[in-house]
Every structure is written in C-alpha cells, then in structure tokens.
Amino acid sequence: MKYGAILRACRERKGWNQEEMAFQLNVNQSDISKYENDYKEPLISVFHRWATVTNSQDVLVAYMAGVEGVTILANILATMGTGIIGFIKLGGFI
C-alpha cells in the first residue's frame, strides 16, 4: 500500500518540516523522506505515532480502510486552504 503522499500531507497540515517530524518520531530525517516517497514502509508503531503527533488519526484510518487517497488529499488540502496549488506541491495524484 502506498501512502507516502498521505503521510506528507498530514505532516504538512501540522506545519512541520521533515526535520521536525523526525524529531517527534525519534527517527532520522532521511527516514521521513523515504516514508513520504514510498521507498520505505514504516513500522506500524511509527505509523501510529505519526498519526498521533499530527492529529491525523482520522485521515490515516480512512486511508487504511480503503477510502480513496485523492479524496482524502482533497479534504486535507481544503482544511489547509491551499486548494490545487497545495495539491500540486504534494506531488499530484497518488
């Protein structure tokens, strides 16, 4: 399952850069990059902590339950107030 764009959107909604996220999760910044670019799959404990520290439990649970990723990204972007520009910034479709 590819969820890097969702993880990135949750982090950015929180307003954190990758270094801040790495600090919160007690991992290296390079690991955050790998998770967000789907090069590395986070352990479930990391995934859970990511959801908790970004207050994105609802988003990540919806995605894991099968809600379409583009719909979730659109909802995240709507709450961020960034619209299509933010969507492009996140890398477009997943």
pTM for the model: 0.67
Q: What angle do CA 94, 5, 45 make, to 5 degrees?
A: 125
| CB contact at 8 A, 35 and 1 | no
Question: Based on the structure, what is the number of domains in the chain?
Answer: 1
In a domain, 20, yes or no: yes
Give the residue numbers spanning the domain of 47.
Answer: 4-89
**Hunting for tokens 């492009």 — which residue is that?**
88
> With bands split at pLDDT 50, 70 and 90, how would you rate the model's confidence at 93?
very low
In a domain, 94, yes or no: no
| CB contact at 8 A, 37 and 4 | yes
In a domain, 61, yes or no: yes
Per DSSP, the three-state class of 82 is coil
Reported as a single tens digit per residue, the pLDDT across 31-40 is: 999 999 999 9
Reported as a single tens digit per residue, the pLDDT across 3-21 is: 898 899 899 989 999 999 9
In a domain, 77, yes or no: yes
In a domain, 70, yes or no: yes
In a domain, 56, yes or no: yes
Residue 38 sits in a domain whose CATH number is: 1.10.260.40
